[in-house]
Amino acid sequence: MKLPVIKHLTNFIEENDQDYVLETIETLEALTEVPSLKDEELDVIGELISNLYGAVEVDKMIKEGTPKKEALNAFMKRVLGAIDT
């Protein structure tokens, strides 16, 4: 996951609508079922999906009242904590 990408997507959600991101996630998840995709292509799609889900999570935290910068930092700490375990 990349914080600048998640931040950009969070801004996109604020300016537009979360539904666009959720529909993109569904589309990318459907693409992963294409049998001819190479591992590298699946990795890229997986990274995109992870960033999109991250932005949705950050947006949720913002809507619950967490300031944007704090929400982004808290999310990344949670992700890094999950990787360390």
Q: Tell me how many domains the chain contains.
A: 1
For residue 16, pLDDT beyond 80: yes
For residue 85, pLDDT beyond 60: no
Q: How many CA atoms lie within 13 A of 26 on its CB side?
A: 6
What is the per-residue pLDDT across 30-59, written as a single tens digit (0 to 9) for each?
A: 999 999 999 999 999 999 999 999 999 999
Rounded Cα distance, 50 and 25, in Å: 9
- What residues make up the domain containing 42? 3-84
pTM of the model: 0.89
